[in-house]
Amino acid sequence: MNLWNKLMCYSRRHSPWLFHMNGGSCNGCDIELIASLTPRYDAEQLGVRLEGSPRHADILCITGPITTNAVGAIKTVYDQVCGPKAVIAIGSCPATTNVFIDSRTLAGPLDKHIPVDVFVPGCPPRPDAIILGVAKAAEILAERAGKKQPSALSSPVVMPLVGPGCGGACACGSATEAKTEEVAQ
Amino acid sequence: MNLITALARLLIFPGLLFAVPAAWFFLWVERKAVARMQGRIGPPFMQPFFDFIKLLGKSTPPRVGIGGLLMRAWPFIAVSAAAGAVGLLPVLPASGGFEGDLILLLALLELPSICIIAAGFSSGSIFGEIGSAREAVLSVSYNIVFLLAIVSIAASQHTFSLSALAHQSASPLRWLGVVAILVCLPAKLHLNPFSLPNAEQEIYSGPMTEYAGPELAMWELSHGLEWVAATGLVATLAAPMVATWWAAALIFVALCFAIVLLLSAVAAATARLQIDTTVRFYWQCTLIFAVLAVASALFMRFRA
């Protein structure tokens, strides 16, 4: 049983299937999410597959500042994803509603409506950062496999900002950290 | 002794013990080959296995009533039919017992496709229904050519027995039939020029849209087993006659691998056709050659 659990943890970490949903995004983050699957970044090396149906997915990727129209759809899709599942908020919009803050057409940020596991900040975030966020979410999924009762959400993870200069997923410098904290609030 | 050999074939080689890892391996080869052709690195070696295990550990939405029961049953029927088809393949030299029948193999190969059609309709999802309708149309198109190719092979060699076919030397007409089967394989395996039923940018996942967890894992496995059975059929028809069993097995695996590479290359190099273009391709372009092959096979037979 223990061996089976270990195998399950390992499999979950190595096979995150994504479902992408747009909650009123400007399309910037959507393009970056697709870019992370293209030959240059090739997220399939981590076993990532972009699925057409939320029923197949493990990880729900949501972009955009969550317009009032999108709330119902997002809740429906969240319920359609079969457990265990994780949610990634891609971009600064679902985390803070970004530049659209105080707009009367918005119902964001995202964590008011569904539990979020990983925030990937950036406007838009680089594909490296998105892949790092997906890997982190897959780790969270694997941890949930180890426990018998899928526990209530621990505090969400905020991924570091990845600058254009550093070519890989890394937190470079204290300026990035300050920005990350700012986004987290 | 016969019973033991038959069981060994069904359970060990080329049956379940060989077929399930081979199914995962072929699924990996397909994804990896497509990735390499697109300039990517592609998934790691154990990827289909990890996907399978992960799907086993996921929950499924509640299904109620007869419809729900049917939805749960389809993937298992598909897997058992595909596994049975692989077990029938006459890879090793015959040593008596059940010799395998081409018509039974065809029926078992067709069953997963029928299960997919039924699954889409019983799921009640609009995308599933569109996918099932497409699968049905596709199946009607390629099966005519597929069956005519099989008939021409059987007529040219005077037998429907699989092991007799595998151990006769190939005539030129058989090669024509093998090429016709190869043309049908992308449609049978839902590969790219004919990937209509699961067209992911158009109708989500087609008939699989409502499936999740272990049921989806069974669908993936049945798709992999279909790969093994379909490529295995071509490999047994094309393989040269060898007396030693290990050489026969080795040639079988190598030929299967080559066919998987060929089909993946075609899939990566082409875009999806429209449904009416696909139907026209099979009914107008390919059917003529299949009819010619059958006609010449029958003609040769009556002359002989």
Contacts 24+ apart (CB under 8 A), B268-274: B268/B33, B268/B34, B268/B37, B268/B38, B268/B192, B269/B37, B270/B192, B270/B193, B271/B192, B271/B193, B272/B192, B272/B193, B272/B194, B272/B195, B272/B196, B272/B199, B273/B193, B273/B194, B273/B196
Q: State phi, psi for B101 to the nearest 5 degrees.
A: -125, 130
Beta-carbon separation of B54 and A12 below 8 A: yes
Q: Tell me the per-residue pLDDT of B12-68, one tens digit each, with 9 for 90 and over.
A: 777 778 888 889 999 999 999 989 988 888 899 989 999 999 999 888 888 888 888
| Residue with the larger pLDDT of the pair B143 and A162 | B143
Confidence of residue A175 (pLDDT cuts 50, 70, 90): very low
Question: What pLDDT was estimated at residue A168?
Answer: 44
Residue A32 — pLDDT band, cuts 50, 70, 90?
very high
- pLDDT value at position B65? 84
Q: Is A60 helix (H, G, I), strand (E, B) or coil?
A: strand
Those residues of chain B that have pLDDT short of 50 are: 96-97
Residue with tokens 């005539």: B171
- Using the predicted structure, report yes or no on whether residue A94 has a pLDDT greater than 70: yes
| Residue A56: count of CB within 10 angstroms of its CB | 24
Could you tell me which chain B residue has the CA closest to the CA of A5? B57
Nearest-CB residue to A82 (from B40, B61, B200): B61
State how far the Cα of B28 lies from the Cα of B46, in Å rounded to an integer. 8
As a whole-number percent, the residues of chain B with pLDDT over 70 amount to 93
Residues 6+ apart with CB under 8 A from B297: B151, B152, B153, B155, B156, B173
What confidence tens digit (pLDDT) does each residue in A103-144 have? 899 987 888 899 998 999 888 898 989 999 999 999 888 887
Cis peptide before B14 (omega within 30 of 0): yes
Q: Output DSSP code: residue A16.
A: P
A39's tokens? 């030959």
ipTM for the whole predicted complex goes beyond 0.90: no
| Rounded Cα gap, residues B71 and B274, in angstroms | 28
A83–B44: do the CB atoms touch at under 8 Å?
Answer: no
From A11, which residue of chain B is nearest by alpha-carbon distance?
B50
Q: What pLDDT score was predicted for residue B49?
A: 93
Per-residue pLDDT band for A60 (boundaries 50, 70, 90) equals: very high
Tokens read off for B6: 């038959």
Which residues of A lie closer than 8 Å to B, measured between beta carbons?
7-8, 10-12, 14-15, 17, 39, 42, 44-45, 47, 51-53, 55-56, 58, 80, 82-84, 145
Q: What is the dihedral of CA A124, A130, A136, A138, to 10 degrees?
A: 130
